[in-house]
Amino acid sequence: MKQKTWPDRSDGVRFTAFPLSKPNDNEENIILSRRSKIVSKTSLSPTDGPDFSALPFDILTKIAASFNFPNLLAASLVCRSWRDALRPLREAMMLLRYGKRFKHGRGGFRRNLDKALDSFLKGAARGSTLAMVDAGLIYWERGLKEEAIALYQKAAAHGDPAGQCNLGISYLHAQPQNHKEAVKWLHQASIGGYTRAQYQLALCLHQGLGVHRNLYEAAKWYLKAAEGGYVRAMYNASLCYSSGVGLSQSRRQARKWMRRAADRGHSKAQFEHGLALFSEGEMMKAVVYLELATRSGETAATHVKNVILQQLSATSRERALLLADNWRALPSSR
């Protein structure tokens, strides 16, 4: 996929969901049983600490609504009262797992979006914000935007960062658009450290969508998202350092973030990093990055790459292309 050189409204179309939990379906009761025995041997007497069972169930389930499977199991072991209260959310985790298998055709399941949606909705009905987000994704992809937004709103109200981010993006692309609400929810997710929301918020600040245009704030959020591993933000942070827009101009920092974006598969960053290496006489390395950019659709990289290849020996050319063949992108939060 080609990345935009600088902010574009089309950058806000990607939504997010949480990954599939790892434990097998039949593990919950076994894990709870084994851990509860350990807890019972080491538990404190009622007078030794606070009475956790006194926490109202509605507050507990709201707090735990966005928990993943391991955290939910841990909370279920605090006391019998919590274990009983969190049973619907544990059931939702199983439904979420089935839904993801149907959605992606994994674990021996044939891909079936209708069954995936049904599982997600059942999980959402049991209070899981993770299931709400996944159900919302399918609704959005089917063009049922009102249904998707309703689920994102529920997840966002429970403090789920993916729900807040997706709700903000939805407001940017719904008809009519609501930029102020978009910025509100993107900011909520951003201050919680959600990198995709930080990048989207930076775009809004850069373009003046729903908020006064503020290049300094935009650059700050680009950098935060970049530090969190978001590739597009790495590229934009590099541009900010290179031009001195929102950040103090620094060639060293610009090169650092451009290379990090390139090493994580950003095609424009690969092209620009290749050009920088070429200008410094690093011909072999330049060819590798330019070849990667070419393969990702950056046609402008092809001419420069061919010029460099003419200057290399046959052995060096083969070596450079072999490095490109064996290249693998470093992990990122995309």
pLDDT of the chain, 334 residues: tens digit per residue: 444 445 553 454 455 554 444 445 455 555 555 555 544 444 444 445 566 677 888 888 888 998 988 999 999 998 899 999 999 999 999 999 999 999 999 989 999 999 999 999 999 999 999 999 999 999 999 999 999 999 999 999 999 999 999 999 999 999 899 999 999 999 999 999 999 999 999 999 999 999 999 999 999 999 999 999 999 999 999 999 999 999 999 999 999 999 999 999 999 999 999 999 999 999 999 999 999 999 999 999 999 999 999 999 999 999 999 999 999 999 988 7
pLDDT value, residue 5: 46
Please give the pLDDT value at position 55: 81
Picking from 222, 218, 190, 189, the residue whose alpha carbon sits closest to that of residue 206 is 218
**The pLDDT value given to residue 16:** 52
Q: What is the pLDDT of residue 298?
A: 96
pLDDT at 34: 55
Which phi and psi (to 5°) does residue 263 adopt?
Answer: -70, -10
User: Model-level pTM?
Assistant: 0.82
Q: What CA dihedral angle connects 196, 200, 202 and 203, to 10 degrees?
A: 140
Q: Where are the domains of the chain?
A: 266-333
Give helix 145-157 / helix 161-173 axis angle, nearest 10°: 140
Q: In the 8-state DSSP scheme, what is residue 52?
A: G
pLDDT score for 59:
87
| Residue 320 neighbours by CB distance under 10 Å | 23
pLDDT confidence of residue 93: 94
Buried b (16+ CB within 10 A) or exposed e, 184-198: bbbbbbbeeebbbbb
Structure tokens at 269: 């960053």
Query: Distance (Å, rounded) from C-alpha 84 to C-alpha 75?
Result: 11
